[in-house]
Structure 1
Amino acid sequence: MQASTQRLDGAVWRLAWPIILSNLTVPLLGLVDTAVVGHLPAPRYLAAVTLGATLLSFLYWGFGFLRMGTTGLTAQAQGRQDVETVRALLGQSLIVAAAIGLALIVFGHPLVRLGLYLLGGSADSAALASQYAHIRLLSAPAVLANYAILGWFLGLGNARVTFVIMALTNVVNIALDVTFVLGLGMTSNGVAGASAIADYTALGVGLWLLRRELRELGGGPVPRHRLWRLSAYSELFVVNRHLFVRTLCLLFAFAFFTARGADLGNIVLAANAVLMQYVMLTAYGLDGFAQAAESLVGKAAGRRDWTLFAASVRAALRFSVVTAVLATAVFAVAGHVLIGLLTDLPAVRAVAGAHLGWLVAMPALTVWSYLFDGVFVGATATREMRDTVIVSLALFLLVWWASRGWGNQGLWFSFAVFSAARSLTLAGVYRHHRRKHWR
C-alpha cells in the first residue's frame, strides 16, 4: 500500500510541477502588467487594464471548456486505449476553437461595448479599456486553439508540453510588455498588443508540437465523418455545454466583483486588482494539482478502476492542502511587502492593506473547489460542476446585497462566502458520488 501511494504521489508530482510552473507564468504576467502600468503616473491606466482584462477573461474563458472538456474526454479515451477517438477529439476541438475565435472577431465589438457598460468604471478608464479589448480580440482564434491544444496534451498526461507552450506565451508577453510600455512609452494599448503577439507565437509552437506527437501516437487518419458531421460532436457538446454555463457563472462572479469595486472608485478598483493578483497566483498553484487529478482521474474512469480513481484523488488532495497552508503563511507574514511590489501609489497601498485579511483567508476557502473541479473534469461529471456553481453564485449575490452597507469589506466578505460555498457543495457531491456511483 505504501509503495502504491508513493507511486501515485510521484505521478501527481510529475504531472503537476510543469503545470504549476506554467500556470504561475499566467499570474506572473498579471503581476508584470499590474506593476508596469501601476507605476505610470495616473491610476486610470491600471484601472483600464483591470477592466479590459476582466472583460477579455469573460469572453475567452467563457469558452474554457475547450481546455477542460478536451482534457477529460481525451484522458478517458487514453484510459480505454482508443487512439482513434484521441485523434478525433483533437481535430474536433481545433475546429470548434477556430469557429468560435472567428465569430468573436466578427461580433466582438458590440460585446466589448456591452461588457464595459456592465462593468462600469470612470469614462477615461472605460475608453482606454475599450482600446485594450479591441486589440486583444484580434488573437481570439489563437487563444481558443491554444486551449484545445493544452487540453489534449494534458489529457494524454504530457504536462511538459503544456509547460513549454504556456511558458513561451507568457515569457514573450512579459518581454513585450516591458518593451512596449517602458521602452516605447506606450500605455494600456502596449499591454494589449503584447498579449496578442504572444498568443499567435504560442499557437505556432503548439501546432509544431502537435505534428510530432501525432506521428508518435500512430493510429492513421481520423475518419472524415468524425470531423465534418455534426452528430459526431455530440459527446463533446454534451460535456462542454455544462462547462460553458459553469465557466460563465465563475467569470460573472469575478466580473461582478470587479464592477462593484469600480463603483467605489479607481483607488478601490486598483487596490482590489492588486489583491486579486495574489488570489489568482495561489489559484494557479492549486490548479496544477487539480489538473494532474484531471488526467489521472480521467484515465482511471476510462478503465472503470474506481480504486485507482479514489487513490488519485487522495494523492492530489495531499499536495493541495500543503500548498494552501504555505500560501496562507506567506500572505500572513509578508502581505504588506507583496502589495508594495505591485504599486507605489500610497492610496492604493493603504486600501489594499486594509483588506489584507481576506487574502490570508482565501487559500483555505478555495483549495477544495480547485481540487474537486479537477476530479469532476476527469470524470466528465460536468452537470454537477454547473449546478454547484449556480448555487454558490446565487448565495454570493444574496450576501453582497445584504452587506452593501459595509462597502468594499462587504464585497470581499461576499466573495469569500462564494468561494467557501463552491468548496462545500463540490465536496458534498463528490462524497455522494463516491458512495453511489464511483465505487
Structure 2
Amino acid sequence: MKSTTSYTYKDIWLIAYPILISLLMEQMIGITDTAFLGHVGEIELGASAIAGVYYLAIFMIGFGFTIGSQILIARRNGEGNYRAIGNIFYQGIYFLMLMSLVIFTLSQLFSEQILGVLVASDRIVGAATDYIRWRVYGFFFSFIGAMFRAFFVGTTQTRTLTLNSIVMVLANVVFNYTLIFGKFGFPPMGIAGAAIGSSLAELVSVLFFIVYTYKRIDFRKYGLNHIPGFRTRELSQIMHISVWTMIQNFISLSTWFLFFIFIEHLGERPLAISNIIRSVSSIPFMTVTAFASTCSSLVSNQIGAGHSRQVPALINQHIRLCACIVVPLVALISLFPSPVLRIYTDIPDLIAASIPTLWVLCSTYLVSIPGFIYFQSVSGTGNTRAAFILEMIALVLYIVYILIVIIGLKADVAVCWTAEHLYAICIGVASYLYIRKFNWQHKRI
C-alpha cells in the first residue's frame, strides 16, 4: 500500500537493508574479536571492551565528518546536481587522510598514558595498550571506507555496501583466527592479533570499494572522472555541516567510553559482562542505525527535491518498519539468553551473571527506535548545529546519571545499563519537538 510520502515501505527497505547488512557485517568484526578473545581469557575480554570503545570514540571524529559529507551529497543528489558530488567526495578524502595521520601519531604517543590514568587494573591497561598499538593503523583505511559509504548512501546506491561488508568480515575472520590463535605457521598473538586482523580487514574493504567504484560507477555523472586539487572553499562548505557532527560523535562515543571506564572501577567481572552485552547489542543497535541513516539521507533528498512537508510522515514510516524488525529480535534474545551469551563465553557463572543486564539492554529498544530515528532526521534537515545542541543536553543528563548510579551508588551492572534508557528518551523527546515545532523546512546547505 502506498504511503503518504514519495517513498513506499518497500522503497525504504530496499535502501535500508543493504546499509543494515553492511553495518551488521562490519559489527561482526567486533563480535568476532569478542567471541575469539572470550575464549582466550577474561582479562583480554575486558580489555578489548575498553580498547574497542576507545578506538571507536576516536574513529567517530572522522565518521562525523563523513556524516556531514553524506548530508551534502544527498542534498545535491536530490537537487539533480550530480557532478558536484565528486568534488565533495575528493575533498573529503584529502581531509580524512590528513586527519588519520594526525590521530595515528597522537594515539601512538599518548594512548598508554591516557589509559593508565583512567583504568584501575594494570592487567587491563597492558592488554588494552597491546590492542590499540596495532589497531590505530586501521584509521588510514576505515576513514576512506567511511567516505565511500557516505557517497553510496547519499546517492542511494546502498547495495554496494552489502558486498563490501561480506568481503571485510570474511577477511577479518580469517585474519583473526590466524593471528589470535597462531594458525598456518603464525605465532599466537592474542589480543594484538585481533587488532592486526581488524586493521587488515579494513584495508581489504577499501581495496574492494576502489575496484568496485572503478568498474561499476558512472564516473562522469558524479564528477569522479576529474580529480581536483585541495580546495579550501569547498572543504569549508563541508566543514560548515560536518564540524558539528564531528564534535557530536566524538563526545557521544567518549561518553560511552567513560561509561566503560566507570564500569571497570566496579571490577573485572562487571567489565567482562558489559563487553559481552555491548557485543550482543550490536545487531539490534545496527538495525536501528541503518534505518536512522536511511531516514537522514531520505530527509535530505526530500528537502532537496522540494518535498519538506512529507518529512514527518517519512520519519514515522522508518520507525514502524524498524520496530517490526527489532522488537521481535530483542524478544527472542530475551526469551533465550543463555544460547546467545554462550557464543561469547563458555564460563557458566559469567553467562548467568550477564542475563539480567541482557534483559535491561533489550528493553532499551522500545525507546531507542523512535529516539534515534528522530534524532538522525534532525541532522538530515542540514541543521547539524541543532542536532549537536540536542545531543549535548542528553549527554549531560547521561553523565550525571552514570556518576550517581555507578560511582556514587556502585549499583549492580544491570542497573547501570538503564542509563541507555535515559539517553534514548532525552534525545528522542528533544528531536521530536524540533521536527514538530521548529522551522527547518527551508534550511539551505
> Shorter-chain TM-score: which interval?
over 0.9
Deviation at 1:7, TM superposition (A): 4.8
CA separation of 1:417/1:87 partners in 2, compared to 1, >3 Å: closer, same or farther? same
Tell whether 2:415 aligns with 1:413.
no
CA separation of 1:131/1:16 partners in 2, compared to 1, >3 Å: closer, same or farther? same
Find the aligned partners of 2:64 and 2:48 in 1 and give their Cα distance. 25
Find the aligned partners of 1:345 and 1:121 in 2 and give their Cα distance. 24
Instruction: Tell me the secondary structure at the aligned position of residue 78 of structure 1.
Output: helix
Q: Find 2:211's aligned residue among 199, 204, 208.
A: 208
Find the aligned partners of 1:159 and 1:35 in 2 and give their Cα distance. 28
Tell whether 2:375 aligns with 1:370.
no
CA separation of 1:322/1:114 partners in 2, compared to 1, >3 Å: closer, same or farther? farther
CA separation of 1:352/1:92 partners in 2, compared to 1, >3 Å: closer, same or farther? same
Number of the residue aligned with 1:187: 190
Superimposed CA distance per residue, residues 49-106 of structure 1 (whole angstroms, 9 cap, x where no aligned partner): 1121111111112221233112111010011111232111111111111111111222
CA separation of 1:377/1:168 partners in 2, compared to 1, >3 Å: closer, same or farther? farther
Instruction: Tell me the secondary structure at the aligned position of residue 50 of structure 1.
Output: helix
Find the aligned partners of 1:285 and 1:118 in 2 and give their Cα distance. 35
Number of the residue aligned with 1:310: 312
1:121 and 1:266 in contact (8 A); partners too: no
Alignment of 1:227-246 (within 5 A): 227-246=229-248
Deviation at 1:214, TM superposition (A): 4.3
TM-score computed with the length of structure 2 as normaliser: 0.91
CA separation of 1:119/1:140 partners in 2, compared to 1, >3 Å: closer, same or farther? same
Tell whether 2:430 aligns with 1:425.
yes
Find the aligned partners of 1:142 and 1:263 in 2 and give their Cα distance. 33
Number of the residue aligned with 2:298: 296
Deviation at 1:300, TM superposition (A): 0.9
Alignment of 1:162-177 (within 5 A): 162-177=161-176
Deviation at 1:231, TM superposition (A): 2.3
1:58 and 1:251 in contact (8 A); partners too: yes
Deviation at 1:308, TM superposition (A): 3.8
Number of the residue aligned with 1:95: 94
Deviation at 1:166, TM superposition (A): 2.5
Number of the residue aligned with 1:19: 19
Number of the residue aligned with 1:62: 61
Find the aligned partners of 1:222 and 1:302 in 2 and give their Cα distance. 25
RMSD: 2.2
Instruction: Tell me the secondary structure at the aligned position of residue 343 of structure 1.
Output: coil
Is there any run of 5+ residues in structure 1 with no aligned partner, and where?
A: none
2:245 and 2:388 in contact (8 A); partners too: yes
Sequence identity percentage: 16
Deviation at 1:2, TM superposition (A): 3.1
Equivalent residue letter for 1:417: L
Tell whether 2:216 aligns with 1:217.
no
Find the aligned partners of 1:82 and 1:228 in 2 and give their Cα distance. 21
CA separation of 1:101/1:3 partners in 2, compared to 1, >3 Å: closer, same or farther? closer
Find the aligned partners of 2:120 and 2:173 in 1 and give their Cα distance. 26
More deviation, 282-291/310-319: 310-319
More deviation, 405-414/27-36: 405-414
Number of the residue aligned with 1:43: 42
Find the aligned partners of 1:238 and 1:263 in 2 and give their Cα distance. 39
Is there any run of 5+ residues in structure 2 with no aligned partner, and where?
A: none
More deviation, 279-288/149-158: 279-288
Deviation at 1:385, TM superposition (A): 1.6
Find the aligned partners of 1:323 and 1:165 in 2 and give their Cα distance. 23
Equivalent residue letter for 1:25: M
Find the aligned partners of 1:84 and 1:2 in 2 and give their Cα distance. 32
Equivalent residue letter for 1:305: H
Number of the residue aligned with 1:196: 199
Tell whether 2:38 aligns with 1:33.
no
Q: Paired residues, what number?
A: 434
Equivalent residue letter for 2:14: R
CA separation of 1:308/1:418 partners in 2, compared to 1, >3 Å: closer, same or farther? closer
Equivalent residue letter for 1:322: C
TM-score computed with the length of structure 1 as normaliser: 0.92
Superimposed CA distance per residue, residues 185-217 of structure 1 (whole angstroms, 9 cap, x where no aligned partner): 331011011011111111111122233424252
1:392 and 1:421 in contact (8 A); partners too: yes
Instruction: Tell me the secondary structure at the aligned position of residue 314 of structure 1.
Output: helix
Structure richer in helix, relative to its length: 1
1:8 and 1:312 in contact (8 A); partners too: no
* Runs of 4+, deviation exceeding 4 Å: 3-7, 218-224
